[in-house]
Amino acid sequence: MGLDVEKIREDFPVLKKTVNNKPIIYMDSACMTLRPIQVIDKINEYYREYPSCGERSLHKLGKRVDEEVEKSRNIIKKFINAKRMEEIVFTKNTTEGINLLANSLGLKQGDIVLGTDKEHNSNLLPWQKLASEGVKYEVVMSGKDDNFSFENFKEKMNRGVKLVSMVHMSNLDGTTTPAKEIVKTAHENEALVLLDGAQSVPHHPLDVRKLDVDFLAFSGHKMMGPSGIGVLYGKKDLLEKLPAFMVGGGTVVDTTHYEAKFEELPQKFEAGLQNYAGIIGLGGAAKYLMKIGKENIEKHEIELNRRVTEGVEGFERLSLIGPGEAEKRGGIISFNINGVSSHEIAMMMDEMENICVRSGAHCVHSWFNAHKLDGSVRASLYIYNTPEECDKFVETLKRVIDLMK
């Protein structure tokens, strides 16, 4: 059954706004999604009803914060089908989750970390930084069809690889890496696997137990949750072995002037006073997405992507980034108009029809540099986008291309 998009759109206050008497057409969800009123209400609920400290204060408000935070943790656990609540560590965002691991895994000189050629800077720089300490970072190049190349991956895989840290769904072109096969191969070689789930978690059905993935990092702001909140999932036995990355208030049971007794999971990784409103809002977002159903979301996005892909087919000077088939690119349409700056196109579409798309290198500079490109225009779709908006996008892009003839 298809999504009732019109009903869903009612939940997003910003979509009711107009600028220059035209509605906003938001197609930048790969950068940040819009938030439904349910999430906004949940954030406000914290500030209005129990704006106090969690984990420390025994009064009624403090207890309520603890309850709501744990409720949220439980929702996230269900959302990705983790086994235990302790496996859900709240972070600031995906970037912090990956940095936490890069600084805690204890990788040594000569250890190899494998990534793809489409890594976001957040899943590239933490490992490049370790490279200066002797850890080797190697890149698995995509195949000719711009998809993940399992052959190239197997070629790189050997006993020296200690961690495979890969993007699950690329924010550059929407392609998805075959996580299950990657995990299986990595485990056969005694390597751990971290998935950058910033794009996949909000758009794609994901079950950490079925994937058997060791770690998964994702952000709230890309899944209708608040900004400044994210999650690092890790298998309990693995997280237990890791030393705390950041320490401070909330991470310890007791301290003397010279020693500390650390908390159990997940608190040992959640240093300092937490972003309670963020955590609680994130729970609200996960609940909202579960109600809609990830399968429905993915299906809707692919249908829209197909509509856009067919619409722009044959456009002069237009070249798509990634595979030609829409179903292989989720909700992302990344493209270039030969000889024209991506920023110019994005700004004109915004100016003409309030179409919000992203332009530039999308934090995947390494890929663009390797392909000698400045960047691309990226339209990224989500559940609140409609076929009519896609048609408007195609029509406006055509006008922009005509203008630039």
Partner 1 sequence: MICLIALVVFAVLGIFSAKYRTVAKEAFDCVFRRITLRKCTTGLDKRLKSKITGKLMLKHPGFARNVYKHFEMISWVFTIVLIVSFSYSVYSVANLFIYGNCNGPIPDAFCLFDPFISEGTEGECTIEAAVGEITGVLEVHPDDPVIGPEDAKVTIIEAGCFVCPYTKQAVPVVKQIISHYGDKIRFVYKDFPVSSAHPGAQEAAEASHCAHEQGKYWEYHYMLFENQGKTGFEELVGFAENLDLDTEQFSECLASHKYKSKVDSDFREAFEIGVYGTPTFFINGQVVVGPKTFNEFRQIIDNELARGG
**Residue ranges binding partner 1 (CB under 8 A):** 341, 343-352, 399-400, 402-405
Least gap, CB of 116 to partner 1 (angstroms):
28
* Backbone φ and ψ of 139, nearest 5°: -115, 130
Nearest CA to 177 out of 105, 117, 125 is that of 117
Separation between Cα atoms, residue 177 and residue 156, nearest integer Å: 16
What H or E segment, with its residue span, contains residue 399? helix 387-403
Least gap, CB of 367 to partner 1 (angstroms):
20
Query: In the complex with partner 1, which residue's Cβ is closer, 198 or 400?
Result: 400
β-pairing, 260-262 vs 252-255, is antiparallel
| Residues 29, 380 contacting (CB under 8 angstroms) | yes
Q: Give the helix, strand, coil percentages of the chain, each rounded to 5.
A: 45, 20, 40
| Residues 304, 324 contacting (CB under 8 angstroms) | no
Least gap, CB of 221 to partner 1 (angstroms):
24
Query: In the complex with partner 1, which residue's Cβ is closer, 82 or 379?
Result: 379
Task: Provide the edge-to-edge strand list for the sheet that holds 161-167.
Answer: 88-91, 230-234, 215-219, 192-196, 161-167, 112-116, 136-140
Sequence-distant (6+) residues with CB within 8 A of 405 are: 316
**363 catalytically annotated:** yes
Least gap, CB of 344 to partner 1 (angstroms):
4
Least gap, CB of 374 to partner 1 (angstroms):
10
Query: In the complex with partner 1, which residue's Cβ is closer, 67 or 351?
Result: 351
Please pick, among 53, 356, 363, 390, the residue that the annotation labels catalytic: 363
* DSSP 8-state symbol, 258: S
Query: In the complex with partner 1, which residue's Cβ is closer, 139 or 404?
Result: 404
Query: In the complex with partner 1, which residue's Cβ is closer, 27 or 265?
Result: 27
Q: With 0-12 CB in 10 A as exposed, 13-18 as middle and 19+ as buried, what is 168?
A: buried
Residues serving a catalytic function are 363
